[in-house]
Structure 1
């Protein structure tokens, strides 16, 4: 196959989104906007207790309400084949495919757990009838307070089964060696529960097209994973389940799992034998589709007087539900970020009577970085050293966790770019030294890293009669501009203008692709698209050789592809259009599977890196914190689209502002119910909270992750932002806030 790359004319350019016009004009169809014939509407009824049993559900008034088609509870729910007993496995005792078995028993495990679903011929009628459903309970004592739950924290089952698991205890050198170090610190850090709250509510339209054939229009980050989950749940062949998710209105991890509301909609559609649409409320977004778990952390660190780290101990306890173990890589960055002969990590989970958490952008690493990067700043202060200089003195030229060389690492370049842009030279070692009227001014930094993961993927490609190219992939696009990036990759590989490329996505019937998450899509689907285009070029070259002797005798490296033609270097008369060559073809798709290069992934440690610099102003009388400047610099390999990549970095930075200053899901432990259940009480950052974020990319290709040189952006965009702001607040005020969010009451 011809693997000679076409000169890059599109990759790296700030190309507009291929789906941008559809989105801004309202022509894009989201999962709640599909209107099928004979549509019905479902509304969930949630429990009003946090733990116990359902004694009775009185649905008579709801069933008699106008337009009601069914009221489904565990008393009358259709049996789901996949809801078989799970035994006593503590990692998934009452779940199937990562979700609660809805309407399967009388147990209540968290407040607002779905206990019934009302189906009616209009949404308004379903809402009205849902309010008429009344339940009686045998209530048990619940625990939703992490301060109580943490006392019973335990080693995850995953770590017990696999001592090399990322959540298992890790020791390099001597454990807890910081306790004998020359300069020591020991600090505790807390990140509260944070809720995703994307603009689009979680929604699904379920349609049984036949007793054994299911189509769902779903808000999901992975059409293939969702298809697999519900095929297993209903005992169907995977090809009998079709999942459509062409447009997704934001998802930071909450659409990584299949959730109870999806099962409820599918059950309801089976019960009424009609398509069923179910859209969660904003309150249900808090209780039913995951969140960043409350996490307590402690970091012990020691260093020499000249700033060499001698030991780090990082402990973490994360929140999970009582019915399912959820874990994340909170302590991973500590193992590999800085040079230290002694590093050990311990990760535990605490089971509470709440719904199961889920990975939230920068899963685990964003939480862990707050503790590690705050501790780095604290140690630098103890040493009377500039925090960037302290990090440079402990820079690693190879992975200290496993001794492997980095596939690439341009973190020092990120330091330099960010420091220049934020005005780091104005930072004073003594906190509280800079003022601007009534405002105290401070500077802080935080480092982030995330694995440059690459999995297997496929891509379908077809040359159409009009000379355009159609590509298809089951991958979703949750907002980062995946469709645009794939269009640019294909355009460069084929030597075509981007307007000659049509990339279709978000359908489980297309070529298999992974779930969009973990910063891995461009790394994984991008190579599949590239290789599909190369396969098409080879097919075109072969067809050109069949019809033209000049091509038959030419060397492969002399064949060029540009502007929809196949040509030969040095022979202007040898030229064949794609459209003419297509007349020889069978018109079918060329399907190509791209797999990771095993040796590269085995021989190198592959990570993306970010450095975030914050300038903050803190009002000395009111304690108000304003982020006046935020600079985010990334080493993410080749940047396919400067504009969409910059959008991702800015979005992550805003999310980091939320982590640092505003976000906190408060629960009333008397009832186990959240009180911050809407966007009036749960504070996400708004325009007034965010400065004009500056973004800079090193833009150096990684030679080992894939042929494109990409490494991934989505997670590093937020990892390190919260500690950068917290460190800047300390530099401004001299007050170290270790429990987020940093609110005025903690500074006055």
Structure 2
């Protein structure tokens, strides 16, 4: 999209919509944005974690003498001298920000609390020194000996040990094995490996006790209020005594959705050494200490009649979790409602392994489940000899079959049509391996994605100043999608204040409370709060204008319009007043409003989802098995698009992650030792520029009439959900080879020759 330099740039697709550049764009590319690790405080110390070298067992001896005597070292903390964390003193599991696990079924894990080792890389010591270099050197001097046990890290070998997690029930609609009665059936297994978030910014925290009961924290967190609450619980403090700051975040993808044990430990250590302490974990520790997408094995059993109507689907998934904490996600959920099918059953199980606990990763659960479901839909379409889009349309549903209620809005048919036209779907041949370009096999694939569209409770404060400038305040963290830009646009649309006169302040617990950024819900939640508070200010201005003695005395409120800082009457162009003059005449230096916003009970009447359709054209080298994504088109049905440029960037980012998920990303574990062997960016292959083609994004851009006043639904998750199966389906169309275990690497295709 070309750069717009006007004060209120216009979206070229819709003449009534503004499409500004990112409000934080210049700051980020010129180095003005400060991330947590950029903050420096007087007398600051630095932490380095020493990780276990075994995957399971116990520490038998720990020699820290050389480390303690190294230059600049302030302390070496182990299970023998770790400071007490008051909220952790009870005998519960590690998860301080959630319900404790059942002590009879889970091992106990407290960081630096026991000689017991539960996973590779588990912290066995934290070294604190007056410089990062000195802390790193001293950490290398810590020596441990262990009693080793065999680490259980191979999910395939332990699938039979899967258990039903708490609060998770098997689902059934119709008959459990209804698919068996169909004349055409399919049964296949699909595997997702461990995937690691690996954003550019490393994880960590900077903790500073300003006095015995007051704490300042700079952290990599997707929710400053959530971190504030977690630390308050751990240290039994009043949350108001804790301030958390995270204005900018260099990629979250889910790893920042909880406060990790090492962060809480740093807070305790900072109090012990009585100075600010910073921890930045290493790249290899990012594989061990801040979660990952769990390895998951899925089975799809599907049946359809000869006319292409689904008869039944059974979807079973088994995923890894830690031995000390149960992690679950919505892997099988979209199978329950995406298609019109009378007989649907799902089952979800977890297996406790000797690994660090997983965490939600972009498209949590649904991205994993979509690979199985949408690959199976493609396989069934081939069995039936039906175009994959047509097969989906024959099983399209206008209502949610899981809950038997209407969707709040759904324009998936239009998404199929527009995406097919853009990718050139009519050029596709249904016979696999029948198309070539320049000696490369070519193929087309598509897939559907969906994710809940939420509206959580949020607060905002908006201040309209007498000079016409506007300040918007919210504690929300902008983890990269352009939240600040979206809130700017919403305020502009309500109050008509020029974009360059609006400043959004965010990412700090001193500001009005906001939910954690995750689940594609922030524009819906915080955006609604900003919309509502700006509306309060607009109503206040109108009241001032139409009161006795006002410039529009005697006129009705709905006759007035507000644009570019001017109140006017549309039918009387000459009748207008500047907001600045109106405030001056009323002796107002500022109009300051704060409010809370949440969805009403009417939302329960609808199933509210965002949808996506991904189309891919691939080229496959028949000699080497190399796969290249030649073209990608992603269509979003996510309500009204508030900020077109950042929305397009969200889709492009999702596609980039989807290419990595489909073709390159896999954290490899040597199960003899329970250790990652490619725990670096040289060997763990994320998609790079050479892997990513030009990406076309299409927005259906029709408002949802129920979810919020903007009509906007989430987009961040659906940008990724469904992309990997679109690639897999295109590879099959190009080669006739069906790869069901990601990533689709050349060796897998060559082995099928």
Please, what TM-score do these two structures have when normalized by structure 2? Answer: 0.94
Q: Distance in 1 between matches of 2:705 and 2:642?
A: 15
Partner of 2:159: 150
Work out whether 1:703 is the aligned partner of 2:712: no
Bigger CA drift: 696-705 or 51-60?
A: 51-60
Shift, 1:141, TM fit: 2.6
Bigger CA drift: 582-591 or 522-531?
A: 582-591
Q: Distance in 2 between matches of 1:195 and 1:481?
A: 23
Work out whether 1:595 is the aligned partner of 2:598: yes
Q: Distance in 1 between matches of 2:588 and 2:543?
A: 11
Partner of 2:5: none
Q: 1:100 to 1:22 in 2, by over 3 A?
A: farther
Partner of 2:57: 52
Confirm or deny: 8 A CA contact 1:447 1:609 kept in the other structure.
yes
Partner of 1:4: none
Q: Distance in 2 between matches of 1:567 and 1:430?
A: 63
Work out whether 1:69 is the aligned partner of 2:74: yes
Shift, 1:288, TM fit: 0.5
Shift, 1:435, TM fit: 1.1
Runs of 4+ in 1 over 3 A off after TM superposition: 7-13, 86-91, 542-547, 549-552, 565-574, 582-589
Partner of 1:83: 88
Q: Distance in 1 between matches of 2:387 and 2:419?
A: 15
**Residue 686 of structure 1: which of 679, 685, 688 is its match?**
688
Helix, strand or coil at the partner of 1:356: coil
Bigger CA drift: 547-556 or 588-597?
A: 547-556
Helix, strand or coil at the partner of 1:589: strand
Work out whether 1:32 is the aligned partner of 2:34: no
Confirm or deny: 8 A CA contact 1:11 1:492 kept in the other structure.
no
Partner of 1:730: 732
For residues 174-213 of structure 1, the aligned pairs below 5 Å read 174-213=175-214
Q: 1:349 to 1:11 in 2, by over 3 A?
A: farther
Q: Distance in 1 between matches of 2:686 and 2:101?
A: 32
Shift, 1:94, TM fit: 8.0
Partner of 1:3: none
Helix, strand or coil at the partner of 2:561: strand
Work out whether 1:291 is the aligned partner of 2:296: no
Partner of 2:608: 606
Partner of 2:563: 562
Please, what TM-score do these two structures have when normalized by structure 1? Answer: 0.95
Bigger CA drift: 215-224 or 85-94?
A: 85-94
Confirm or deny: 8 A CA contact 2:214 2:242 kept in the other structure.
yes
Q: Distance in 2 between matches of 1:550 and 1:622?
A: 76
Work out whether 1:632 is the aligned partner of 2:637: no
Q: Distance in 1 between matches of 2:323 and 2:723?
A: 31
Q: Distance in 1 between matches of 2:679 and 2:366?
A: 26
Shift, 1:574, TM fit: 5.6
Q: Distance in 2 between matches of 1:308 and 1:220?
A: 46
Q: 1:443 to 1:384 in 2, by over 3 A?
A: same
Helix, strand or coil at the partner of 1:147: helix
Confirm or deny: 8 A CA contact 2:150 2:673 kept in the other structure.
no
Partner of 1:134: 143
Structure 1 gaps of 5+ residues are: 1-6, 160-167
Q: Distance in 1 between matches of 2:100 and 2:217?
A: 28
Confirm or deny: 8 A CA contact 2:544 2:550 kept in the other structure.
no
Shift, 1:203, TM fit: 2.2
Shift, 1:584, TM fit: 3.2
Q: Distance in 1 between matches of 2:155 and 2:109?
A: 22
Partner of 1:165: none
Q: Distance in 2 between matches of 1:264 and 1:631?
A: 45
Partner of 1:118: 127
Shift, 1:54, TM fit: 2.4
For residues 445-460 of structure 1, the aligned pairs below 5 Å read 445-460=446-461
Q: Distance in 1 between matches of 2:334 and 2:201?
A: 31
Helix, strand or coil at the partner of 1:747: helix
Report how many residues are paired. Answer: 731
